[in-house]
Amino acid sequence: MFQWKRSLLMFCGLSLICGLIYPLIITLTANIFFPEKAKGSIIKSGGQAVGSYLIGQQFTSPRYFHGRPSATDPVYDAGNSGGSNLAPSNAKLIAQASGQVQSIRMENDLTAGAAIPAELVLASASGLDPHISPAAAYMQAERVARERSIERSEVEKLIKDNTEEPFLWIWGKERVNILILNLALDGWKK
Amino acid sequence: MTLSDWLCLILVPLILTLLAIPLGEFMASVFSGGKNYLTPFFLPVERFLYRLLGVDEKEEMSWKSYAVALLFFNAIGIAALLFLQFIQGILPLNPQKLGAVRWDTALNTAVSFVTNTNWQSYSGEQTMSYLTQMLGLTVQNFLSAATGIAVSIAVIRGFIRKNAGTIGNFWVDITRSVLYVLLPLAFIWSVLLVSQGVVQTFSGYETVQTLDGGKQIIALGPVASQEAIKEIGTNGGGFFNANSAHPFENPTPLTNYLEILGLLLIPMALPFALGAMLKNRRQGIAIFAAMMILYLAGLGVFAWVETNGNPLLEKAGVADGINMEGKEVRSGVVGSVIFAHATTVTSCGAVNSMHDSMMPLSGLILLFNMTIGEVIFGGVGVGLIGLLSYAILTMFLAGLMIGRTPELIGKKLELKEMIMSIVIILSPAILLLLLSGIAISTRVGLSSLSNAGPHGLSQIIYAFASASGNNGSAFAGLNANTIFFNLTTALAMLVGRFSTIIPALIIAGALAQKKTVPPSIATFPTTGFLFIAMLVGVIIIVGALTFFPVFTLGPILEHLLMAAGKTF
């Protein structure tokens, strides 16, 4: 019986340290040194919150760059993240991929056999991936330029300016955050 | 694979080894009661806690008292976490007004977090209030990790002590694990994560107006503090449903690799701590080497399979058939492979990609990592225990070959140690095969499947391998939030955890009582290449013999049928 009491006391003591004091100290530190990031890296445009730097959004208009398919319901639901969990041998995955490949080729006037970058065809793990590869962005440059009646070179410059490099040249891949890129297209400045 | 892919594959274990050696030495000093550079900060806190809670620091426990204290402590943990989930609706720090968690989900979650499994049948941002995440889940992330470390230290003491009746003090061991090891590391990782964009706030979910004219609700929370200990303690329970694939849990390539380093760090340091405590550093290095050989072999196969892509997708028009389904661009294929390998060789179970969507033979590697008992570095503490059990089995086999009583690190191995090692090695396996058998032969089990064909079998095997191995990762297409799966996986988690911990304490107690046998000319050396090779061989043979038939029907069959162009 003696151990019960000791266990209970130890549990309460350590819970207090790990479950209240520790997260409170981290919250305090985070909000002093990284206040924007701690609150979700929210982007404001004209006083209105329009998204987060880190969270992707759904784009369907041909005037915008398109991102990855999202398996959440509704798509890009940042209140309930998740992937499709389709097996590589699942017929539905292959059918969806074929359909997606066809529609991307159509949208962008590509040849019938053109290979499409994988991330544009396949859903992300979180359903919220804001990034695509530079190749996938350049592939859409022609369409975006035409729809906006601007020079393709201008669009390509924006892609180049918004390409994020791997950390220390090694860790991760080159990538483009399409929410930021699309905001830049609309004339938004960081 | 590109040059940078190769560099990532090679640099991760290299950097980790360089960090693990000093951490191992540091942990050895902490648990031997020595002074270290954190003593000035934490000794007063430690002393204060002991005085307040009536713990006698000098008191020594037999293996039985140690086990009783541990079981009471864990039972209270389960009860408290269960209770918290039931009443979260009326407690503060609940901006989304989330109500009580369903009973079977709550029970599964309580067992899951206390056993260091962190299997999650719920979606974090839809189910748990901020208070539950902090005071319930984060607390158990610390305490279950501390429990694992404590038991491994007790086992090491079993090898060190001679003719002794005690193996240490459970309260002192967990307090020191939390104060000197887990909290400082979690603090460093939290701050690094926040600097990259991991959120840490008590405000409610943000609603934004999207560019395309819609509304998006963005879940927030005190994520960084939980994220850090989730990796450091090899817990793996995500704040959000998508776990470390969620941009707020893992926003950049830097955080991706930080999380990989975090989750392998303590498991990699423990063999070195063993060597330092035994004052026989070559023994620690030998055990580390056996683990590293298995780690690198699995990683090589895994990276090769997954970067080769999916031939069916290539035919559908995807460039090179790269399998980006269920992966994030910022992590990439190789960043996802290293993470998935790390999370299954340890008992972490955090995921930065959806394992269900990985290639069949990749899934096979993940299953193998878990079903051999997560002894390639393994969970904090319990990984080392699992590997020592295999070492005992190896020495038994070596003893049979040379016709001598087996010895390990100066202790004669007898009936009790042998039986308990076999319990540790086989009980999760037996349970996994039994429960999987039940699941695939009942409608209630099969109705949760989301993929047909051999992959469906893999989904069920994966669930019980993850639960009985206390891993917590999933082939997440399986709908595990049913009464059947919540109860069966909870059983698997409990048995998997305590059929490791209790026998380990019995072994510790038995070893401590023995005298030490001085090495002689006839002693089979346990620090050399022969020992390492035998140990690796035993692990692979036991794992392969137990699971080869079911692997053939799951991932291997799926691979062969896919190669023939078949889908389901």
SS (H, E, C) A47-103: CEEEEECCCCCCCCCCCCCCCCCCCCCCCCCCCCCCCCCCCCCCHHHHHHHHHHHHH
pLDDT of residue A47: 86
State whether A50 and B208 contact (CB < 8 Å): yes
Average pLDDT over residues B264-292: 96
For residue B525, whether the previous peptide bond is cis, meaning omega lies within 30 degrees of 0, is no
Q: How many other CB atoms are there within 10 angstroms of residue B468's CB atom?
A: 31
* B499: its two tokens: 């059929």
CB contacts, 8 Å: A167 with chain B: 252-254, 257
Q: Given pLDDT bands bounded at 50, 70 and 90, which one contains residue B213?
A: confident
pLDDT at B413 over 60: yes
Of B200, B206, B316, the CB nearest to A26: B200
* B97: its two tokens: 């007004």
pLDDT at A46 over 90: no
pLDDT of residue A22: 97
The C-alpha of A35 sits at a distance from chain B's nearest C-alpha, in angstroms, of 9
Residue with tokens 């039940």: B438
Which of B502, B424, B418 is CA-nearest to residue B469?
B424
Distance CA B408, CA B395 (A): 7
pLDDT of residue A188: 73
Indicate the residue type of B36. Answer: N
State whether A85 and B326 contact (CB < 8 Å): yes
State whether A87 and B353 contact (CB < 8 Å): no
State whether B353 and A125 contact (CB < 8 Å): yes
Q: What is the phi/psi pair of residue A55, to 5°?
A: -110, 125
- Distance linking the first and last C-alpha atoms of chain B: 29
Q: How many other CB atoms are there within 10 angstroms of residue A160's CB atom?
A: 12
CA distances from A145 to A120, A153, B125 (A): 19, 9, 39
Residue A52, beta-bridge partner list: A42
Distance CA B161, CA B166 (A): 9
pLDDT of residue A189: 65
The C-alpha of B201 sits at a distance from chain A's nearest C-alpha, in angstroms, of 6
- Distance linking the first and last C-alpha atoms of chain A: 63
The full DSSP string for B189-251 is HHHHHHHHT--B--S--EEEE-TTS-EEEE---BHHHHHHHHHHTT----SSTTGGGSTTTS-
State whether B174 and A10 contact (CB < 8 Å): yes
Distance CA B369, CA B146 (A): 23
Alpha helices in B329-482 (DSSP H): 332-345, 360-371, 382-402, 415-440, 443-446, 454-468
- Helix or strand or coil: residue B412? strand
pLDDT digits (tens, 9 = 90+) for B97-142: 999 999 999 999 999 999 999 999 999 999 999 999 999 999 999 9
Distance CA A115, CA A94 (A): 15
State whether B210 and A170 contact (CB < 8 Å): no
* B162: its two tokens: 């001679």
Q: Given pLDDT bands bounded at 50, 70 and 90, which one contains residue B487?
A: very high
Average pLDDT over residues B352-378: 96
pLDDT digits (tens, 9 = 90+) for B324-361: 999 999 999 999 999 999 999 999 999 999 999 999 99
CB contacts, 8 Å: B245 with chain A: 81, 83, 124-126
The C-alpha of B375 sits at a distance from chain A's nearest C-alpha, in angstroms, of 27
CB contacts, 8 Å: B228 with chain A: 26
State whether A54 and B247 contact (CB < 8 Å): yes
pLDDT digits (tens, 9 = 90+) for A57-81: 999 999 999 999 999 999 999 999 9
How many CA atoms lie less than 13 Å away from B327 in the CB half-sphere? 33
Q: How many other CB atoms are there within 10 angstroms of residue A188's CB atom?
A: 15
Distance CA A80, CA A76 (A): 9
* B568: its two tokens: 């389901």
In this structure, the dihedral spanned by the alpha carbons of residues B512, B514, B516 and B520, taken in order and rounded to 10 degrees, is -140
Q: Given pLDDT bands bounded at 50, 70 and 90, which one contains residue B520?
A: confident
* B122: its two tokens: 């719920």
The full DSSP string for B236-290 is ---SSTTGGGSTTTS-SHHHHHHHHHHHHHHHHHHHHHHHHHHT-HHHHHHHHHH
Q: Given pLDDT bands bounded at 50, 70 and 90, which one contains residue B430?
A: very high
pLDDT digits (tens, 9 = 90+) for B25-83: 999 999 998 888 888 889 999 999 999 888 888 999 999 999 999 999 999 999 999 99
Contact B137, B78 (CB under 8 A): no
State whether residue A8 sits within 8 Å of chain B by CB.
yes
pLDDT digits (tens, 9 = 90+) for B530-562: 999 999 999 999 988 889 999 999 999 999 999
Indicate the residue type of B382. Answer: V
Mean pLDDT of chain A: 94
Q: Given pLDDT bands bounded at 50, 70 and 90, which one contains residue A190?
A: low
Percent residues over pLDDT 70 in chain B: 100
Mean pLDDT of chain B: 95
The full DSSP string for B58-83 is T--B-HHHHHHHHHHHHHHHHHHHHH
The C-alpha of A92 sits at a distance from chain B's nearest C-alpha, in angstroms, of 8
Average pLDDT over residues B452-470: 96
Per DSSP, chain B holds a count of helices (H) and strands (E) of 22, 4
Q: What is the phi/psi pair of residue A51, to 5°?
A: 155, -170
Percent helix, strand, coil in chain A, to 5, is 45, 10, 45
Q: Given pLDDT bands bounded at 50, 70 and 90, which one contains residue A1?
A: low
pLDDT at A2 over 90: no
- Helix or strand or coil: residue A182? helix
Average pLDDT over residues B479-500: 96
State whether A89 and B566 contact (CB < 8 Å): yes
Of B203, B247, B326, the CB nearest to A84: B326
State whether B191 and A30 contact (CB < 8 Å): yes
With residue A14 as reference, give the H or E element that holds it: helix A2-15
The C-alpha of A153 sits at a distance from chain B's nearest C-alpha, in angstroms, of 23
Q: How many other CB atoms are there within 10 angstroms of residue A159's CB atom?
A: 19
Per DSSP, chain A holds a count of helices (H) and strands (E) of 8, 5
State whether A20 and B313 contact (CB < 8 Å): no
Task: Determine whether B529 is exposed, middle or buried from the number of CB atoms within 10 Å of its CB (0-12, 13-18, 19+).
Answer: exposed
User: Which H, E and C letters describe A111-125, residue by residue?
Assistant: CCCCCECHHHHCCCC
Number of inter-chain CB pairs under 8 A, A vs B? 389
The C-alpha of B377 sits at a distance from chain A's nearest C-alpha, in angstroms, of 23
B34 or B246, higher pLDDT: B246
Residues in A 80-109 with any Cβ partner in B closer than 8 A: 80-91, 93-94, 97-98, 101-102, 105
Average pLDDT over residues B232-242: 95
Residue B208, beta-bridge partner list: B216
pLDDT of residue B105: 97
Average pLDDT over residues A104-117: 95
Distance CA B345, CA B356 (A): 17
